[in-house]
Amino acid sequence: MRVCIVSDSHDASPRLAAAVERARAWDAEVILHCGDIIGPNTLRAAMQVGLPMHVVHGNNLGDVLGLAGLAAESAGRLRYHGDHARLTLGGRRVFMTHYPDIARGMAATGEYDAVFCGHSHRAAIETLQNVTGGRTPVVNPGTVAGIGAPATFALGDLAALTFSIEELP
């Protein structure tokens, strides 16, 4: 299963929609948003692309009730998970949070095939040793809004557990 990982959109709806369009062209099947959305209007253009989206909030919560309402109206296309999400996608167990320190801790448990986070606005892909003797990728897609750093997002193939950082113009 191919996925698109975004974070820290901070009301930059056009850039978020551009990342989702590129993900659709790459045949991604789902969007994972690691927080700092701010409000529901940020998601509307991206949702029109038609891919299902899972979101968690970050430290810039914005309109939580509005996000929950948009999720309720979306007929299942948008799932708002709160502060973290435990998902099974394409047969892989994934964990999604906003915070890199929590992501690294969850990766260390060995319970997840991949862990996704945001917050730092610095795109990075790490593979961490876990307590089972395996290795778990931790992907931070950076900031799709381009705040204090280039506008970036990540594409990933969960079957192969391969990920890349992509930049928006």
pLDDT at position 156, please? 98
Q: What is the CA angle 32-35-149, rounded to 5?
A: 100
Q: Which helix (H) or strand (E) holds 164?
A: strand 162-167
Predicted TM-score (pTM) of this structure: 0.96
Percent with pLDDT over 90 in the chain: 92
pLDDT at position 31, please? 98
pLDDT at position 64, please? 85
Output the six-digit token pair for 153. Answer: 């997002």
C-alpha closest to that of 146 among 115, 121, 125: 121
CB 4 within 8 A of CB 31: yes
Output the six-digit token pair for 97. Answer: 């949070």
pLDDT at position 26, please? 98
C-alpha distance from residue 34 to each of 31, 127, 134 (Å): 10, 18, 24
pLDDT at position 63, please? 84
pLDDT at position 62, please? 80
Q: Which value, in Å, is the radius of gyration of the alpha carbons in the chain?
A: 14
The residue with tokens 């204090």 is: 148
The residue with tokens 């692309």 is: 49
The residue with tokens 């593979």 is: 127
Quote the CA–CA distance of 142 and 118 in Å, as a whole number.
Answer: 6
Identify the structural domains of the chain with CATH numbers, from first to last.
Answer: 2-167 (3.60.21.10)
pLDDT of 47-92, one tens digit each?
999 999 999 989 987 888 888 899 999 999 999 999 999 999 999 9
Arithmetic mean of pLDDT over the chain: 96
| Across 101-116, average pLDDT | 98
Lowest mean pLDDT of 68-77, 116-125, 141-150, name the range: 68-77
Contacts 24+ apart (CB under 8 A), 73-77: 74/47, 76/52, 77/47, 77/50, 77/51, 77/52, 77/53
pLDDT at position 39, please? 87
